[in-house]
Structure 1
């Protein structure tokens, strides 16, 4: 199993400037090779030249152009060969994806690669071989660069920079696990992303199972074979962060984007944003980074807590499309929905821990009574959170009923000993709510009518 270990780096101003320079050169090489690729594409379309196709559409065709470019542009020698090689391979991979999409070999078609703007997105430094070009001594990371001229001896030497991991490595980390390293920058913060190979534990039998009904009002509402109904609340900080992001973006967009005129060495002119625009833009990038990191911590905390209590987690196959009544509502629903990332996180944690993840078909689960299986014609409006079955009179909490139906569908395909069922009926004996407080999952006392109530007990028992 390959997984990523992302560690924040502490770097000084000189090291940050060097890494930025390395990223700029790799970005320049990508754009330079894309220029050649565009010309080769035009030539191949006109003449069907097989040599042009060999360079353009093979995995290593563009990469083999790097030695000639180093002779033509000596500054490329200051970057490590692995970083340059992977800049070319990244472009070749994008071209092959475009070709596969045209041939119908991909589910989703992609466009032809476009030129990259380094100011818009930092070009990562990729070392794709274990411990080649980098070394880790405790928490000190040493990165090898390209060749530079030694002023004392007049000969070329291998340049290096040093950075420090902001936090200690986890206990499970072993140097032999490392397969690749990627240096990335988010906002003004540098990260080292190690690709590690970890053994996959054998999958265990699903002893306790929970089926989760995902929706917009909360992240999900689950019912387990242990008779416990759990409402997983959305992260409270997302609305605050999104409001602040909108405020900073509004202030930034009011500033002049073309404010300072700069004359380059070759005589060409360029315009730079105002000082206030750059300041607000840096703040906006920091806010986006905080949002990504906090949502990642939230999802991993929820996934680990679920798999600590259950051996199998099954989520409904609902996909949010933001079908709100207004544009602002649709935007908020799409932006704040974490269902896609939550499913990816659950699948990853299940593989890592040897447990089970799956999805169940949600068709008709909300409007079908779990007691008598009567389906309400026309469905139930989203604003109706509780309803009574017209056939048997059973009172339902909307999300709980859907989760019970989902659990019944899961149990038809998954054999679970001691499932908590009485005959064919799934019995809910306890309700609870989970809220993420930044440090872990806080269990809120009781749920009444699908909402959190003010109860002193840790759970609300159903009698």
Structure 2
């Protein structure tokens, strides 16, 4: 079993590197607004592109590099996550968890740069130095900047950085948010060995398909493996342990089953209705006192409302 947690550390860069980070953020903010407009236009035309379906919005953002070459200067991870953030905003809007996605203002809020793959686009050179990668320049060379961390940061053998986010808060202060996954003893080695085995199997399948293709033979379609349902593992108690399991529900207070298989049913407490009614009566009396509140003025000339004595007593 693994533990996932975040660590936020302030970062310091040269003045020119700070301007470069601002430029990366502005490009992602511009792309976000372009995708918002594209999604609206696609909806008004009857959704011929189906941008809000699957990963179409991310692919649309990637294809924009051909018409807007300056997008190549941004690393692929923040670029694709710009589209994924908008897709997530629409998904939350459709499930009534969020308001309708709007255009973003870069001056009001700095657009964070999100790297969602381990050690891709960022690298810890030592315990207090981090390297961040951008896109490529006109010559096809990778652009990189280095910064220093305010605190010493090092990983244990059982820890791994999963994601990294660059944000700008409190004026002109840059922060790095690291998402770290900590594995149990021996779990990380097992996971790495499993990933290596899967990688080798995929490589063998790829070589086999290329061999069959060169011979002109039919390439068999990979069989879909059915996912086996994981069996529920119940906790094992030491011999002689006595226990009881409670199941609260709305028909009664709760139902209990003990270690001998005997079930018990607890009726609802009649006292709760009585005290709920008393609380409602006191709240109604307190609400009447709102009209008798008094307006006060501080020594600095600011005004405020002070509740009545009766309101304070009921509250």
Per the alignment, do residues 14 and 100 of structure 1 end up closer, same or farther by CA in structure 2, a change over 3 Å counting? same
Q: CA deviation at 1:137?
A: 1.6
Q: CA deviation at 1:378?
A: 3.3
Q: CA deviation at 1:115?
A: 0.3
Note the aligned Cα RMSD (angstroms): 3.0
Q: CA deviation at 1:12?
A: 1.5
TM-score (norm 1): 0.39
Q: CA deviation at 1:175?
A: 8.1
CA contact (8 A) 2:28 2:79 kept: yes
Q: Which residue of 2 aligns with 1:63?
A: 58
Pairing of 1:252-291 with structure 2 (within 5 A): none
TM-score (norm 2): 0.56
The CA distance in 2 between the partners of 1:176 and 1:158, in whole Å, is 28
The CA distance in 1 between the partners of 2:181 and 2:20, in whole Å, is 30
Q: Which residue of 2 aligns with 1:115?
A: 103
- Aligned to 2:101, what secondary structure does the other structure show? coil
1:127 aligns with 2:115: yes
CA contact (8 A) 2:158 2:183 kept: no
2:4 to 2, 5, 23: 2
Q: Which residue of 2 aligns with 1:378?
A: 282
1:195 aligns with 2:179: yes
Per the alignment, do residues 43 and 173 of structure 1 end up closer, same or farther by CA in structure 2, a change over 3 Å counting? farther
Deviating above 6 A after TM superposition, structure 1's stretches of 4 or more consecutive aligned residues are 374-377
Q: CA deviation at 1:375?
A: 9.1
Q: Which residue of 2 aligns with 1:140?
A: 129
Q: Which sections of structure 2, spanning at least 5 residues, go unmatched?
A: 186-270, 287-315
Q: CA deviation at 1:40?
A: 0.8
Q: CA deviation at 1:377?
A: 7.3
- Aligned to 1:77, what secondary structure does the other structure show? helix
The CA distance in 1 between the partners of 2:5 and 2:54, in whole Å, is 24
CA contact (8 A) 1:59 1:93 kept: no
User: Residue deviations 1:75-112, cap 9 Å, x none?
Assistant: 100000101000010001111111222xxxxxxx4222
1:182 aligns with 2:165: yes
The CA distance in 2 between the partners of 1:182 and 1:376, in whole Å, is 48
Pairing of 1:10-409 with structure 2 (within 5 A): 10-44=12-46, 49=47, 51-52=48-49, 54-56=50-52, 58-101=53-96, 109-138=97-126, 139-149=128-138, 155-169=139-153, 173=156, 176-186=159-169, 187-199=171-183, 378=282
Q: Which residue of 1 aligns with 2:243?
A: none
Aligned length: 194
Q: CA deviation at 1:376?
A: 12
CA contact (8 A) 2:136 2:143 kept: yes
- Aligned to 2:89, what secondary structure does the other structure show? helix
User: Residue deviations 1:25-74, cap 9 Å, x none?
Assistant: 00001011111001011112xxxx5x43x322x24111101232111111
Q: CA deviation at 1:200?
A: 8.1
Q: CA deviation at 1:173?
A: 4.9
Q: Which sections of structure 1, spanning at least 5 residues, go unmatched?
A: 102-108, 150-154, 202-362, 369-373, 383-463
- Aligned to 1:144, what secondary structure does the other structure show? strand
Q: CA deviation at 1:11?
A: 1.3
The CA distance in 2 between the partners of 1:168 and 1:16, in whole Å, is 21
- Aligned to 2:151, what secondary structure does the other structure show? coil
The CA distance in 2 between the partners of 1:5 and 1:93, in whole Å, is 24
The CA distance in 1 between the partners of 2:175 and 2:72, in whole Å, is 24
Q: CA deviation at 1:118?
A: 0.3
- Aligned to 1:15, what secondary structure does the other structure show? helix
